Amino acid sequence: MFEAVAFYLFAFLTITMFLITVLSSQALYALSALAAGMIFISAFFFILGADFLGAVQIIVYTGAVMALYAFGMMFFDTTREVKEKKGNKFIIIGLSTLAAVMVVAIFAAPIVSTNMQAFYPMIDGVGNTQQVGLVLFTKYLIPFEVAAVMLLVAMVAGIVLAGKKMDLSLTLMNAEDIKRIEDEQNKKVLS
Amino acid sequence: MEIGLNHYLILSTILFAIGLVGIMRRKNLLLLFFATEILLNAVNIGFAAISHYYGDLTGQMFAFFVIAIAASELAVGLGLLIVWHKRHGNIDLDTMTSMRG
Amino acid sequence: MEKYLYIALFAPLVSSMFSALFTNTPKKQFVGIIASLLIFSAFVSSSILLTHILGGGEIVHVEMMTWMHTGNLYIPFGFVVDQISVTMMMVVTLVSTIVHIYSIGYMDHDKGFNRFFAWLSAFVFSMMILVMSDNFAGLFIGWEGVGLCSWGLIGFWFHKEVATWAANEAFIMNRIADLGMLIGIFLVYWNTGSLQYDIAFPAMAHLDTATLTWIGIFLFVGAMGKSAQFPLHTWLADAMEGPTPVSALIHAATMVTAGVYLVVRSNELYDLIPNVGLFIASLGAFVALFAASMALVNRDMKRIIAYSTLSQLGYMFVAAGLGAYWVALFHLMAHAFFKALLFLGAGNVMHAMHDELDPFKMGGLYKKMKWTAIMMTVASVALAGIFPLAGFFSKDAILEAAFAEHHYIIYSVILFTAGLTAFYSFRLVAMIFHGEERYKLFGIDPHEAYKFMLVGMSPLLILAIIAGSLKGTYFEMITELLPNTEYHIHSELTFWIMTIGTQLFVAIAIMYAYKKYAFSPVTLPDGTSKTENSFMYKLLINQYYIPYAYEEYIVKPYNELSAAMWEVDKKVVDASVDGIAGMFYGLGENTRDMQSGNLSTMLKWMVGGTVALLSLAVVFGLAARYSDEILTILSGLGV
């Protein structure tokens, strides 16, 4: 019974938040609503017994991703109203409704067959985090490592793209060039 | 009443549809990214729900990797967005039509 | 023995390929020499094969490789050397060798010297395939090959429009006849299941007469084109536009005899349908008379000889049609020798007279060109059929065959033609070599041909004289394969009257020709004399107005039809193709707006596409799930 209550409550909240995100004309409201929505989604994960996933959701999404978006908003100065040309509302709503209805039909009918097999079954009596750890570091080790490399690459790319004076490489230039650039900088600052 | 897999899947679908509305509607690139995040989260709910109801940990693994990918995508995307903004001064989609066919 | 077969077959091909390497370079003497040597090696191999067959050796039959093997159709590249083909091989290689040697001298100053040998050797190769093949398909390959090489050689001097026109005429007329031959070949395959001679012919004995008649008629249509029987005869006279060695090889000895070869090879077929054979013989007799009449008044030296060839081909078909196949083949062989000799001699005269062809403008050349005169005279004597030269034995055999079979009309026609033949041959010889020297009026200074050319022609001279004595050996060999039809005239007296009577008739004709053209003064016809304006003369010199009729009633309407069809082609066919292309282009133009470059629009398209795919998934999923119910509904509706 509690489960049903929690489910419907959080479902209602999540949908509301996300609707605000997509329909609002104020960027700040959209951002805040998105952050809230993320938290509520992590609630779902906890209901479903995926504790580790819920914690990761809060830390990564709500913590890191939303912070990054906030920085981005500051950078782009989107506090004023976002001027948007009106797209055709009917197409948008119509297409999305159709898509939703059809997916529901596929799952609920169910049109796709229902015999699915469990490849990595859950073990009872062990906490979720331990189970995740077991599977992640044995069967999914290679994707794990590759994801790590990918995150590294993304980090480097983000720094290079967004940083100042990133076209010069301090480690590859020789000493005179560095000195010369620094002198120019100091002259500009002092004068 | 009993909450079954179908409830979660319908919820996931509704959130996905909301995300689709978002990406079709938004003309500001940053807000477009918000809508993309909604899409990804909807899918994550689906994965976690199936994982729970079938007793299989594969769904949660996928959800992890989706989160990781979303994070890295965001980093690179925002970086590119910053470079574009430096060059053009705005990030309105209707002005970005140089890839016209 | 197989290696001799392959040498005889492929040496001409090697010669042709070798000469073809030099077609773009100026004349190189060694090209002609090597080509002649290779053809000579083919001749030697053919001789070895001939001695083998003569000595009672068995037939050499090889299958080189499979060409087609699809379903029930099996066609190999197979070659057979039996009595018929070895005779043809001998004739072809001998005359080809001599013509090659002759051409080294004749084409001496021609820019296309190397190209000439390439075409000439290619022709010999195609002819060898034709005579050596052991199935109808190989025959047809050779058939088409000789047609092509003949086109290339007639139109050798392609900058002359007359020559290219004549080449096209020859090729197109041959093609029209080849349609008939193809239908004949199809009928053979359809009714007997194979194209191999040794399978098809025995199987034909079990077919009904109507089918056999059609096969015989259609195959003969092909022979009509190649051997220039009426009405497909106009190309032969026009083919004289080519160089004289070409005329000697192709239009005297080899290509035009391919039709006779076909009928002789199909003797088992024609024996079963004697009515078609009678038709062939009658047509042959008609052509013999028809051509001889046109040669009586002609003023072009090579055309006279060409009509003579046409007339003699008629003789060969008379023999073949009456069932005397070995006689036809024998006359083919003898005719090849003296006709080639005649043409080569005419080539010498032409060269000496700087390409002048009108015998009225020559005369008294005996003093300057003694050897050529002797050769041409001997050849004409052989052609007229005077004992003991070659022509007597072959022609007399044909006359006997006609008489003994009680075809008296045919007999009288070819007897009369024999007289005409003698007359016009000696008219030509007398006008060229005897009488007063009219060429001096035109300022031409003739000289004899190169010595080696004369030496090269001498084997033909010897054979024209002695070929008659080979008749006995030949008869024994060939009747192992061909039906042994010996004609016995019932009474000895009739036989002697016939023979001596024919000789007298021919001798009188010769003497009349000499009297008219050698011993009395000959005036150059200039269009005003009574003879020239008479109806018969006009009819004959315009070839019975047949080329004119073809031009007016066939070529011109066809041109108009083609022009009309071109309009249809442009307005209907081209327009519909352009329409389809235009439709696609328009489609592309209109959907181009999809690529607006605007991300928002493209995202909307993406979602639209997703919806479409989802709907497909729903429909197919439902169909898969409820397939049984759907099937029952459909069957209820009667689908």
| CB pairs A-C closer than 8 Å | 34
CB distance A116 to B66 below 8 Å = no
Chain B CB contacts of C604 under 8 Å are: 24
d(CA C144, CA C123): 10
| SS3 label, residue B28 | strand
Residue A83: pLDDT band by 50, 70, 90 thresholds?
Answer: low
The one-character DSSP state at A117 is -
CB distance C324 to C487 below 8 Å = yes
Chain B CB contacts of C596 under 8 Å are: 97, 100-101
Nearest by CB to residue B64, choosing from A56, A92, A99, is A56
Residue of chain B whose alpha carbon sits nearest to that of A118: B56
pLDDT at A120: 62
Chain A CB contacts of B48 under 8 Å are: 44-45, 48, 50, 53
* Residue C580 amino acid letter: I
- CA-CA-CA-CA torsion sign (C370, C374, C377, C379): negative
DSSP letter string, C353-409: TTT---GGG---TTTT-HHHHHHHHHHHHHHHT-TTSHHHHHHHHHHHHHHHTT-HH
CA distances from C398 to A143, C285, C308, C631 (A): 99, 11, 17, 81
Cβ–Cβ gap C618/A91 under 8 Å: no
- CA-CA-CA-CA torsion sign (C417, C418, C423, C424): positive
Closest CA to A132 of A58, A62, A61, A49: A49
Question: Residue A173 belongs to what H/E stretch?
Answer: none
CB distance C332 to C91 below 8 Å = yes
The one-character DSSP state at C518 is I
Question: What are the structure tokens assigned to A169, written together?
Answer: 């490489």
First to last CA, chain B: 54
What does DSSP say about strands C60-70 and C73-81: parallel, antiparallel, or unpaired? antiparallel
d(CA A30, CA A17): 9
First to last CA, chain C: 69
Helices H / strands E in chain A, number of each? 8, 0
- Within its chain, how far is the Cα of C489 from the centroid? 34
Chain A CB contacts of C611 under 8 Å are: 95, 98-99, 102
> What domains appear along chain B, each with residue ranges and CATH number?
5-95 (1.10.287.3510)
Cβ–Cβ gap C618/A96 under 8 Å: no
d(CA A120, CA A63): 30
Residue of chain A whose alpha carbon sits nearest to that of C617: A106
Question: What dotted CATH number matches A1-83?
Answer: 1.20.120.1200
Nearest by CB to residue B81, choosing from A37, A72, A87, is A72
The one-character DSSP state at A122 is P
CA distances from C384 to C392, C457, C491 (A): 8, 20, 26
The one-character DSSP state at C111 is T
Question: What are the structure tokens assigned to B71, written together?
Answer: 């994070």
Tokens 């938290």 -> residue? A39
B96 touches chain A (CB under 8 A): no
Q: What are the φ and ψ backbone dihedral angles of C228, each rounded to 5 degrees? A: 55, 50
B43 touches chain C (CB under 8 A): no
| SS3 label, residue C468 | helix
d(CA C493, CA C495): 5
Cβ–Cβ gap B71/A64 under 8 Å: yes
**Identity of the highest mean pLDDT range in A133-142, B87-96, C506-515:** A133-142
| SS3 label, residue C171 | helix
d(CA C75, CA C80): 14
pLDDT at A1: 81
Q: Which residues of chain C have pLDDT under 50?
A: none
CB distance C359 to C428 below 8 Å = yes
d(CA C302, CA C347): 9
d(CA B23, CA C256): 84
- Which region among A38-42, A141-145, C265-269, C366-370 has the lowest average model confidence (pLDDT)? C366-370
pLDDT one-digit tens code per residue, B20-39: 988 888 888 888 999 999 99
* Residue A87 amino acid letter: G
pLDDT at A86: 64
First to last CA, chain A: 73
Task: For residue A155, give how far its alpha carbon lies from the nearest alpha carbon of chain B (Å).
Answer: 7
Chain A CB contacts of B92 under 8 Å are: 83
| SS3 label, residue C545 | helix
Residue from B3, B39, B53, B93 to probe the interface with A (highest A Cβ count within 10 Å): B3
Task: Tell me the residues of C at the B interface, defined by beta carbons under 8 Å apart.
Answer: 592, 594-600, 603-604, 607
Could you tell me which chains touch chain B, where touching means 3 or more CB pairs under 8 A? A, C
Chain B CB contacts of A167 under 8 Å are: none
CB distance C615 to A101 below 8 Å = no
Domain boundaries, chain A: 1-83, 88-191
Could you tell me which chains touch chain C, where touching means 3 or more CB pairs under 8 A? A, B
With 0-12 / 13-18 / 19 or more C-beta atoms within 10 angstroms meaning exposed / middle / buried, residue C325 is: buried
Cβ–Cβ gap C596/B26 under 8 Å: no
Kindly report the pTM of this predicted structure: 0.69
d(CA C603, CA C600): 5
CB distance C326 to C394 below 8 Å = no
CA angle, A165 as apex, A162 and A167 as ends, to 5°? 90
Tokens 């809508």 -> residue? B35
CB distance C326 to C475 below 8 Å = yes
Nearest by CB to residue C595, choosing from B20, B32, B101, is B101
Res. B74: pLDDT tops 90: yes
Which phi-psi region, left, alpha or beta, contains residue C592 (left: φ > 0; alpha: ψ -120 to 50)? alpha
CB distance C468 to C330 below 8 Å = no
* Residue C270 amino acid letter: Y
pLDDT at C118: 93
